[in-house]
C-alpha cells in the first residue's frame, strides 16, 4: 500500500483486472502467439501475451536477472499511441521527433520531472539514465483562520510510501534541523487525494522549506531508467539489448503487425472451413430429393455417407455435417438462410484475403486499432514536466546563522571552532600536540586544509565542530592518505583572504605559493579551492616519488621569498621567478640541493625588515636578514650559513588573533 503496510498472505489476497487488461489477452483465442507447455506439461500457456498496446512502455516494468537488469517507468497511454501512429507514418522518425508526443514518464502518483529536457532526451536516445522526480506542493486552500502559513504536498515521487515519508518529515520538524517547519500531518483520503500538510512559521518560508526537504527526504528521487529488453534477432531468437524509444516502439509495432496478420489468417482459416461445409449444403440442396431417397434407403449413417459421396461431389467433412443437420434445416426458409450465410462468408473471406495481400492495409488496421485504444483508455498526464531551473534549489546557507568564529588547527590534524580566544597558550589541546594555526572566519565561509601529499580539503566552517575541548580529528570529515599531515590552513572569508576578482581593483588576486622538500616551487590560483570539496579533496601539487610539500601560503603583496634547507643553506629570490601554473603541477627548481639535503620550509618577505628565523640542530634560534643574504636567481645552491650544524625547522610567524568583540 502507499502508506507502507506489508502485503497480506496470498490466501487473503484477491485482484480484479481493469478493463484495459482485457486488451492484453483478448486475441489469445485467435492463435496470434505461440504456445508452450506449462511447468507440469499438462496445459499450454502463451509465450507472450498478444497485447494490443505497448504494455512494456505504458505499464513499465522492473526486473533483475543474471548479469542484467531492467527498470522502465510507466508512460501515458495517449502519448505513446500518438508516438506509435507517428512512427507508422514516418518509419525513420528520430527519438527527438517521437518525444514531441512521449514527453517523459507518467507516474501514477504524479510528481514533477525536473530533469533538463536535453538530459531527458539523452535518456530516451540511449535507453539508460537518471530521471529526477520531485513532489508537487501548493498553498493550503482548505486552511481556515487568520494566519495561513500551511502548504500542502499534492503529489509525491513514484515508489515513495507515505508512512516512511511522514517519519522523515516528523524527524526534521522535531530535531529543529529546519526551524521553519513546525509539523507535518498526513490528511490524504479517497475524497481529498494526496494531502500532506506542512505547518510553517511563515508563508514566506515555503520555497526555502521545500528546497531543504527535496534535498534531505524522499520528496525528491532519481529514477534509474534502464530499457534493457529481450528483442528478436534475424532468426527470431530473443537476446537482451538496451533499446532507445524509437527501437522499443518499432519492435512493438512489428509485433503488432505480426499478431494482426496471424489473427486474420486464423479468421480466414475458420471462414474457409465454414464455407467448405456450406458449399456441401449447397450441393445437397440442389439435389435434395435424390439425397433424401439415398438416405432413406441406406442401412445406417456410414452407408448413407458412403452412398452420398459416390453420388455427390462432397467429402467426409461435408457429408458428416449434412447427416448431422436437423430435418427442419431443409425447409425453404432455412435453405435461404444457409445460402445467405454462404454468400456473406465468401465476401468476408475475400475481404480478409485482400487485407493479407496488402501490407499497407495491415498497417492501416494497426493504426486504427491503436487510435481506438487511445480514445477509449487514454487519460490526462499526471506527472508534470518542468525544468529544474524553474524550481528553487537547496541553498544550505539559508539555514546557517552567520556568526564570527575562529578555526583552530593543530599539528596532529585536530580541528575545532571557537568563538573567542584570549591566548594561544591557554587553548586546550591534546598532550604533545601544538597549535598550527588559528583562522578567523564566519560560519558562511570555508577553511582550506593543505596536506603534505599535495591534497587540499575545503570544509564549510559550520561543519567544523564547535568545542571548548580538543575538537575532532580532520580525518573524521575527509579521507587523507596514510601518513599525510596537515601543514597549512587558509580561510575563504573575504575580510582576510582577498576575493578572486576584487571590485575595487586595489587588492591583488590571491595565489598559492608552494615549496617541496625536493626544492621545487610553484604558484597556483586560490580560486578553485573556495568551494567545498569531496572527502577525497583536490590536488594542488603533483609530487615526485619520495617528495612532500613543506610550505603553502598565500601570495598577496610579498615581493621575495627565502628557502631554507636541513643542510643550513638559504636562498633568497624574487617571486616573479616562480611560474604560475594553470593547475596542479611539479613546478620548477627553487634551490639546487646537495645529496641528503632537503628543504625544511620557506618564508615570504614583503618589507625590508622581514627576517628568516630558523632553529638549528642545537636548538638555537638564528635570524637571517635580507641585507646580508640578498636576492639571487632561483635554482642556485644558495648560501651555506654553517659548516657545523644544520637547520631543524623554520620558526613560523606569530599567530595573529582577531578580537571579535570589537
Show which residues are catalytic: 12
**Set of cell numbers at residue 469:** 575541548
SS3 content of the chain, % helix, strand, coil (to 5): 30, 25, 45
- Which residues are within 8 A (CB) of 558 and not within 5 positions of it... i.e. 6 or more apart? 575, 604, 605, 606
Sign of CA dihedral 338, 341, 347, 348: negative
564 three-class SS:
strand
Q: Which residues pair with 36 in a beta bridge?
A: 45
Residue 604: CB atoms within 10 Å: 19
What's the burial of 307, exposed, middle or buried (CB within 10 Å: 0-12/13-18/19+)?
middle
Q: Three-state DSSP class for 555? A: strand
CB 131 within 8 A of CB 152: no
For 629, phi then psi, to 5°, come to -110, 80
d(CA 604, CA 501): 23
Q: How many CA atoms lie within 13 A of 653 on its CB side?
A: 12
CA angle, 567 as apex, 564 and 568 as ends, to 5°? 55
> Are residues 263 and 30 in contact, defined by beta-carbon separation less than 8 angstroms?
yes
Per-residue exposure over 417-427, b if at least 16 CB sit within 10 Å of its own CB, e if not:
bbeebeeeeeb
CA neighbours closer than 13 Å in the CB half-sphere of residue 626: 16
Using an 8 Å Cβ cutoff, are 229 and 248 in contact? yes
CA 338, CA 318: separation in Å to the nearest integer?
14
Residue 176 backbone zone (phi > 0: left; psi -120 to 50: alpha; other: beta) = left
Three-point CA angle 467, 472, 473, nearest 5°: 155
Phi, psi of 279 (to 5 degrees): -65, -30
Please give the backbone phi and psi of residue 286, each rounded to the nearest 5 degrees, phi first.
-70, -20
Tell me, what DSSP letter sits at residue 652? P
Tell me how far apart the alpha carbons of residues 21 and 27 are, in angstroms, rounded to a whole number.
12
Across-strand partners of 133? 113, 221
In order of 159, 206, 405, 445, 475, the CA distances from 402 in angstroms are 38, 21, 10, 9, 26
Cα 38 to Cα 26, 53, 63, distances in angstroms? 20, 25, 22
Number of H helices and E strands in the chain, helices first, is 13, 34
Cell digits of residue 607: 618589507
Tell me the β-bridge partners of 377. none
Contact criterion met (CB below 8 Å) for 569 and 637: yes
Round to whole Å and give the CA distance between 111 and 219: 9
The residues pairing with 38 across neighbouring beta strands, listed in sequence order, are: none
Q: Are 75 and 57 in contact (CB under 8 A)?
A: yes
Could you give the CA distance from residue 260 to residue 27 in angstroms, rounded to a whole number?
9
Contact present, 275 and 349 (Cβ < 8 Å)? yes
Amino acid at each position: 500500500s502507499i502508506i507502507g503496510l506489508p502485503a497480506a498472505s496470498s490466501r487473503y489476497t484477491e485482484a480484479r483486472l481493469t478493463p484495459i487488461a482485457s486488451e492484453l489477452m483478448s486475441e489469445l483465442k485467435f492463435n496470434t502467439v505461440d504456445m508452450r507447455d506449462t511447468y507440469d506439461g499438462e496445459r499450454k500457456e502463451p509465450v507472450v501475451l498478444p497485447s494490443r498496446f505497448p504494455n512494456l512502455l505504458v505499464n513499465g516494468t522492473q526486473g533483475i536477472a543474471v548479469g542484467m537488469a531492467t527498470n522502465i517507468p510507466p508512460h501515458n497511454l495517449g502519448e505513446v499511441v500518438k508516438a506509435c501512429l507517428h512512427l507508422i507514418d514516418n518509419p525513420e522518425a528520430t527519438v527527438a521527433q517521437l518525444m514531441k508526443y512521449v514527453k517523459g514518464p507518467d507516474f501514477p502518483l504524479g510528481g514533477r520531472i525536473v530533469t533538463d529536457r536535453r538530459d531527458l532526451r539523452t535518456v530516451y536516445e540511449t535507453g539508460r539514465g537518471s530521471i529526477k522526480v520531485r513532489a508537487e506542493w501548493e498553498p493550503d486552500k482548505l486552511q481556515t483562520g487568520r494566519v495561513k502559513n500551511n502548504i500542502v504536498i499534492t503529489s509525491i515521487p513514484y515508489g515513495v510510501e507515505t508512512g516512511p515519508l511522514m517519519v522523515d518529515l516528523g524527524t526534521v520538524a522535531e530535531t529543529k534541523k529546519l526551524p521553519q517547519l513546525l509539523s507535518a500531518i498526513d490528511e490524504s483520503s479517497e475524497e481529498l487525494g494526496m494531502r500532506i500538510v506542512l505547518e510553517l512559521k511563515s508563508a514566506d518560508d515555503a520555497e526555502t522549506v521545500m528546497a531543504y526537504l527535496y534535498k534531505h527526504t524522499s520528496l525528491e528521487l532519481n529514477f534509474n531508467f534502464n530499457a534493457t529488453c529481450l528483442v528478436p534477432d534475424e532468426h527470431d531468437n530473443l537476446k537482451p539489448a538496451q533499446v532507445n524509444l524509437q527501437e522499443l516502439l518499432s519492435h512493438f509495432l512489428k509485433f503488432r503487425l505480426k499478431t494482426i496478420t496471424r489473427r486474420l489468417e486464423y479468421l480466414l482459416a475458420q471462414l474457409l472451413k465454414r464455407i467448405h461445409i456450406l458449399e456441401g449444403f449447397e450441393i445437397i440442396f440442389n439435389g435434395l430429393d435424390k439425397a433424401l431417397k439415398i438416405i432413406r434407403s441406406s442401412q445406417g449413417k456410414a452407408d448413407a455417407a458412403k452412398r452420398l459421396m459416390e453420388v455427390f461431389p462432397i467429402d467426409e467433412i461435408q457429408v458428416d455435417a449434412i447427416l448431422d443437420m436437423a430435418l427442419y434445416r431443409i425447409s425453404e426458409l432455412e435453405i435461404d438462410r444457409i445460402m445467405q450465410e454462404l454468400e456473406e462468408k465468401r465476401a468476408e473471406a475475400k475481404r480478409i484475403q485482400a487485407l493479407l495481400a496488402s501490407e499497407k492495409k495491415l498497417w492501416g488496421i494497426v493504426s486504427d486499432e491503436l487510435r481506438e485504444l487511445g480514445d477509449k483508455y487514454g487519460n490526462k498526464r499526471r506527472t508534470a514536466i518542468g525544468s529544474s531551473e524553474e524550481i528553487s534549489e537547496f541553498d544550505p546557507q539559508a539555514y546557517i546563522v552567520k556568526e564570527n568564529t575562529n578555526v583552530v588547527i593543530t599539528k596532529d590534524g585536530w580541528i575545532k571552532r571557537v568563538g573567542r580566544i584570549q591566548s594561544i597558550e591557554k587553548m586546550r589541546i591534546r598532550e604533545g600536540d601544538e597549535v598550527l594555526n588559528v583562522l578567523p572566519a564566519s560560519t558562511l565561509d570555508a577553511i582550506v586544509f593543505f596536506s603534505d601529499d599535495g591534497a587540499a580539503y575545503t570544509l564549510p566552517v559550520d561543519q567544523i565542530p564547535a568545542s571548548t575541548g580538543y575538537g575532532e580529528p580532520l580525518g573524521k570529515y575527509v579521507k587523507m592518505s596514510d601518513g599525510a599531515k596537515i601543514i597549512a590552513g587558509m580561510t575563504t572569508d573575504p575580510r582576510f583572504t582577498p576575493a578572486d576578482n576584487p571590485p575595487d581593483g586595489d587588492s591583488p588576486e590571491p595565489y598559492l605559493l608552494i615549496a617541496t622538500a625536493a626544492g621545487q616551487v610553484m604558484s597556483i590560483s586560490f580560486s578553485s579551492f573556495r568551494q567545498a570539496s569531496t572527502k577525497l579533496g583536490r590536488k594542488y601539487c603533483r609530487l615526485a616519488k619520495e617528495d612532500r610539500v613543506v610550505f603553502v601560503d598565500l601570495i598577496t603583496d610579498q615581493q621575495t621569498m627565502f628557502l631554507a634547507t636541513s643542510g643550513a643553506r638559504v636562498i633568497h629570490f624574487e617571486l616573479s621567478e616562480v611560474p604560475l601554473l594553470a593547475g596542479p603541477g611539479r613546478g620548477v627548481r627553487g634551490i639546487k640541493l646537495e645529496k641528503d639535503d632537503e628543504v625544511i620550509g620557506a618564508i615570504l618577505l614583503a618589507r625590508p625588515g622581514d627576517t628568516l628565523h630558523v632553529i638549528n640542530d642545537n636548538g638555537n634560534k638564528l635570524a637571517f636578514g635580507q641585507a646580508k643574504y640578498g636576492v639571487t636567481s632561483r635554482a642556485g645552491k644558495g648560501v651555506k650559513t654553517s659548516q657545523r650544524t644544520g637547520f631543524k625547522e623554520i620558526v613560523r610567524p606569530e599567530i595573529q588573533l582577531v578580537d571579535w568583540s570589537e
